[in-house]
Amino acid sequence: MIELKKFGTTLISRQTGKEAFLACQSLLQDIKKTEMIELDFKDVLSFSPSWGDEFLTPLLKKFKENLILRKTNNPSVLATLEILETTLNKKFEIAK
């Protein structure tokens, strides 16, 4: 499981989203595409499509339905997921 708060609680710019994705590569390299990977937004304060596009989009492309997002009530996370889903024409899997 990846806890996004470990990259900061204000996840806004493309630059920091890209850096976070690169930093994650060492964690992800041993995970097969067929394995589940879970993301947790707990304690994230603000989230934006720029950060999300740099971090979530490549993960979604790689892991597809095996990328699972934990439920959150944070409005900026929810609004960002909606806009990314529209742009990518793909749905994120949300944990039940």
Partner 1 sequence: MGRNFVILKKDVQEIEKNSSSLFKIAKKWAVTREKIPDKFYCQNSAIFQTRLVKMETLLQKDKNAKDLFSLLTSIAGEIGNNSFDHNLGQWPDIPGIFFGYDLNKKQIVLADRGLGILQTLKRVRPALKNHLEALKTAFTEIISGRSPESRGNGLKYVRHVIVKYPINLVFETGNAKLKLNNGNHNLIIEDVMESINGCLALITW
Name the site residues for partner 1 (rule: CB under 8 A): 10, 12-16, 45-50, 53, 57, 74-77, 79-80, 82-84, 86-87
**CB of 25 or CB of 86, closer to partner 1:** 86
**CB of 30 or CB of 89, closer to partner 1:** 89
Residue matched to tokens 């892991």: 63
| Alpha-helical segments (H) within the chain | 14-28, 49-63, 75-88
**CB of 13 or CB of 91, closer to partner 1:** 13
Residues 31, 62 contacting (CB under 8 angstroms):
no
Residues 50, 13 contacting (CB under 8 angstroms):
yes
Q: How far is the CB of 35 from partner 1 (least distance, A)?
A: 25
Q: Which of 81, 79, 93, 73 is nearest to 53 (CA)?
A: 81
**CB of 47 or CB of 63, closer to partner 1:** 47
Q: How far is the CB of 30 from partner 1 (least distance, A)?
A: 27
